[in-house]
Amino acid sequence: MLALEGIRILELVHLPPGELCTMVLGDLGADIIKVEALPQSGGRGAGVYANQEADALKSAQAFNALNRNKKSIRLNLKSTEGQQVFYRMLKDADVVIEGFRPGAVNRMGVDYETVKKINPRIIYCSLSGYGQDGPYSQYPGHDINYISIAGALNLIGWPGQPPAIPLNFLADFAGASMHGVAGILAALFVRERTGKGQLVDISYTDSVVTFMTFFLQMHFSSGLTFPRGAWALAGGYPYYKTYETKDGKLISLGCVETWFWENLCRAIGRDDLKCYGLNPGHFIQKSDEPKWNEVEDELKKIFLTRTRDEWFDHLIKNDVPVAKVYTLDEVASDPQLLHRKMILELEHPKHGKVKQPGIAIKLSETPGQVRAFAPYSGENTDEVMQALGYSKSDVESLRKANAIG
Estimate to the nearest angstrom the gap between the alpha carbon of 256 and the chain centroid. Answer: 27
Return the bridge partners of 322, or none: 253
Query: Which helix or strand (DSSP H or E) is residue 188 part of?
Result: helix 178-194
* Residue 206: active-site member: no
The answer to whether residues 298 and 291 touch, using CB atoms and an 8 Å cutoff, is no
**CA-based torsion, 113, 115, 118, 119: positive or negative:** negative
Q: How far apart are CA 375 and CA 64, in angstroms?
A: 9
Write down the catalytic residue from 133, 142, 272, 313.
Answer: 142
Per the residue annotation, which of 172, 179, 206, 282 is the catalytic one?
172
Distance CA 138, CA 272 (A): 58
339 catalytic? Reply is: no
| Cβ within 8 Å of residue 94, ≥6 positions away | 7, 8, 9, 121, 122, 123, 188
Separation between Cα atoms, residue 98 and residue 12, nearest integer Å: 5
Alpha carbon distance 227, 155 (integer Å): 7
Would you please indicate which residues are annotated as catalytic (active-site) residues?
142, 172
